């Protein structure tokens, strides 16, 4: 199977700036100490001595999506598909993200489908793209749109469908404190804007 590599023009719009304005690790650790003091903690007690270093290391993983370019993941496609041109669906892609308003977790799953136009993606690439965008400060609406747009622009399929179901800890842990509430968002492009294809997508999710 021969692969074709495509690149999106330009950098992802919300990738980190590579300028010298990015704080150092020491500055980031000091910011954590400031927050701990603001909370009323004693940063000299044994249990908190290494907390700033651990938090910064954890954040580098939780927000690693800023250092990744989705076009690098989606740029490798395959043409040898024996004429297959029906829906390709990857469902139940579990992810963790963080709300850009309160920086608390968003926990959910994504369902992503597309109608190929001669070329297909490796199935793991779809899950990786969800992960890249999820590992940034997000709103669910933006995350849904970013996943659909990146696949649409890179693969140029006949249509893309994305559904995300998630629970927001900013609702469960603070504010109204309603546990178990789920938010559902969708984005349809191309032939998935047709009701009959949306119906097929939803039926495939049910089964």
What residue numbers does the annotated binding site for Zn(2+) cover? 99, 102, 170
Among the options 30, 41, 102, 165, which is catalytic? Answer: 102
**Residue of 27, 79, 94, 101 marked catalytic:** 101
Smallest CA-to-CA distance from 79 within 124, 126, 123, 118 is with 118
Query: Active-site residue 100, yes or no?
Result: yes
- Phi-psi region for residue 155, left (φ > 0), alpha (ψ -120 to 50) or beta? alpha
Binding site listing: 99, 102, 170
140 as an active site residue: the answer is yes
70, 6 contact by CB (below 8 A):
no
Q: How far is 118 from 15, CA to CA, in rounded Å?
A: 30
Pairwise CA distance, residues 141 & 166, whole Å: 11
The catalytic residue among 99, 153, 165, 167 is 99
Strand order from edge to edge, sheet including 120-121: 3-5, 76-78, 120-121
Is 102 an active-site residue? yes
Catalytic annotation present for 168: yes
* Residues contacting residue 152 through CB under 8 Å, at least 6 positions apart: 160, 189, 190
Give dist(CA 13, CA 78) in Å, integer: 26
**Distance (Å, rounded) from C-alpha 5 to C-alpha 77?**
6
Which position among 138, 140, 146, 191 bears the catalytic label? 140
User: Which among 79, 100, 141, 193 is annotated as catalytic?
Assistant: 100
Known catalytic residue at 99 = yes
Query: Which of 12, 111, 146, 168 is an active site residue?
Result: 168
Q: Among all residues, which ones are annotated catalytic?
A: 99-102, 140, 168, 170
């Amino acid at each position: 199977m021969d692969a074709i590599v495509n690149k999106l023009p330009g950098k992802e719009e919300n990738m980190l700036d590579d300028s010298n304005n990015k704080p150092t690790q020491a500055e980031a650790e000091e910011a954590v100490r400031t927050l701990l003091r603001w909370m009323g903690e004693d940063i000299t007690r044994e249990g908190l001595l290494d907390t700033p270093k651990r938090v910064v290391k954890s954040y580098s993983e939780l927000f690693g999506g800023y250092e990744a370019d989705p076009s690098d993941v989606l740029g490798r496609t395959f043409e040898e598909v024996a004429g297959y041109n029906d829906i390709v669906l990857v469902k139940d892609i579990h992810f963790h993200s963080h709300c850009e308003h309160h920086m608390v977790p968003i926990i959910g799953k994504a369902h992503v489908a597309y109608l190929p136009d001669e070329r297909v993606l490796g199935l793991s690439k779809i899950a990786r793209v969800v992960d890249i965008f999820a590992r940034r400060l997000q709103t669910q609406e933006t995350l849904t749109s970013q996943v659909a747009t990146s696949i649409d622009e890179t693969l140029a399929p006949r249509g893309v469908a994305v559904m995300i179901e998630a629970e927001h800890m900013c609702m469960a842990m603070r504010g109204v404190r309603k546990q178990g509430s789920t938010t559902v968002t969708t984005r349809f492009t191309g032939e998935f804007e047709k009701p009959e294809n949306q119906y097929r997508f939803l039926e495939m999710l049910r089964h």
